[in-house]
Amino acid sequence: MANGVTPELLDFILQLAQFLLIAFGILIGGAAIVYITMFWKGNLSASGIAGILRQTDVPKLATIMMIVLAASLLGLMGVIEGEAVIALLSGIAGFVLGHRGAAKGSEME
């Protein structure tokens, strides 16, 4: 096969990708249930929930998780080389850790 990927490795990667996709769906579904419950049972308006989402960076977290998973799977399949995977993952780590200490109001827009 292309890039020296054996059928066994490809089957493992596909099974791993399926499990990761199911886990990600459960995570997003659980978050949706929490926010729906907050909207119906709590005294929160739609703008209140939008404010919570902005402060918790849920969309950013979901995007970063998917990029890390995709880079890892592409590295396992040999589509991209090890140095590219390392550069991508260290760039993501720098982005996440670099924004951790910054105050919300001090970010450049």
pLDDT 10s digits, 70-90: 888 888 777 888 788 888 888
> Residue 71's CB: how many other CB atoms inside 10 A?
20
Is the Cβ–Cβ distance between 3 and 79 less than 8 Å? yes
Length in residues, the chain: 109
The domain spans of the chain are 2-100
Beta strands in 32-99 (DSSP E): none
**Whole-prediction pTM value?**
0.57
Residue 108 pLDDT greater than 60, yes or no: no
